[in-house]
Amino acid sequence: MTAEHRETRIGTKVRAGERLQLLTVGVLVLATVLGAEPALAKKVDAARDSRLALIRGLAHEVAVAKVALPRGKKGIFLDAQGQVDQEKADAELRMNGQAIRPGMPVQITKIIFKSNRLIFEVNGGGKKGKKWYQRIQIGVGTTTSPIVTDAPVLAFGSSISLMFQEKMPALTVEQVRRLLGSVLDFERRSPTVLYSPTVPPEIKEAIKKHQVIVGMDHDAVLSAKGPPERKVREVREGVEMEDWIYGSPPHVLFVTFEVDTVVSVRQH
């Protein structure tokens, strides 16, 4: 056998060995991937189920604010133990003012999931927006102008960001309620009103929903909505009337009392 033939046979063996090694590596990688797929799928399913449970359990939930919540899209920040970052909260309140005062009923209107945070928008969130008719424009050709030039609608909500140092863990509804407990009270009720046999069922139901209806007295309204921002008292046709005013334009609620009974509820 010539030297050239020996080199050819050796080269063929080397290439065959390389192909065998590549095939072995490929088999090992495939086995690893196939073995990891069930675990990965379970992890993804658990994260998805956790998020769905939070949306079902907390979206549109009504609570009562324990602290002042600032205007603006940043809102207030809590750490992984549910403690308020008071320095940031004070800075936001100084810069943007108060959107929600302590004792005011709020509703979670949106839940946003980020890699290391969970954001709850309350009462519509803290972003400014426009009414639908402010987006309509008219014109000829390429020149158009808005038919209404009003300023953007002010935001009257806020947001609460639950921050984590690393990736957000899977959380239950009750765990999140506890973490939000420093700023929101989900259990605030008035037993003397809700459990009194003399209070009609429709008023009890309205209090649970933080609504005001005709026929309530002062205690029931306080239980449902908390103290008003303003009160206006006057005598109308010889009868003492008092208006309790909640909110700011364009969302203002007027509750009118005749002595100690609500006779009118108007939303403007």
Domains, the chain: 62-185 (no CATH), 191-267 (3.30.1450.10)
Please report which helix (H) or strand (E) contains residue 146, including its range: strand 143-146
- The two tokens of residue 99 are 């959107």
Number of neighbours of residue 141 by Cβ within 10 angstroms: 5
Number of neighbours of residue 148 by Cβ within 10 angstroms: 11
| Helix, strand, coil share (%) of the chain residues, nearest 5 | 40, 30, 35
At 101 the pLDDT is 83
CA distance 58 to 173: 7
- pLDDT tens for residues 188-202? 544 456 667 788 999
Identify which of 161, 19, 141 has the alpha carbon closest to the alpha carbon of residue 76.
Answer: 161
Identify which of 232, 216, 234 has the alpha carbon closest to the alpha carbon of residue 224.
Answer: 216
- The two tokens of residue 118 are 């969970």
CA distance 112 to 118: 6
Q: Determine the angle formed by the axes of helices 201-208 and 218-225, rounding to 10 degrees.
A: 30
**Plot region of 246 (φ>0 → left; ψ -120 to 50 → alpha; else → beta):** beta
Taking the alpha carbons of 95, 97, 102, 106 in that order, is the dihedral positive or negative?
Answer: negative
CA distance 230 to 208: 23
Q: How far is CA 259 from the centre of its chain?
A: 38
Residue 132, pLDDT > 50, answer no
Residue 149, pLDDT > 60, answer no
Stretch 46-61: mean pLDDT, rounded?
85
CA distance 51 to 70: 26
Confidence of residue 240 (pLDDT cuts 50, 70, 90): confident
Stretch 132-139: mean pLDDT, rounded?
52
Residue 263, pLDDT > 90, answer yes
Residue 45, pLDDT > 70, answer no
- The two tokens of residue 110 are 């949106």
Q: Say what the pTM is.
A: 0.52
Q: Let me know if 63 is exposed, middle or buried by CB neighbors in 10 A (0-12, 13-18, 19+).
A: buried
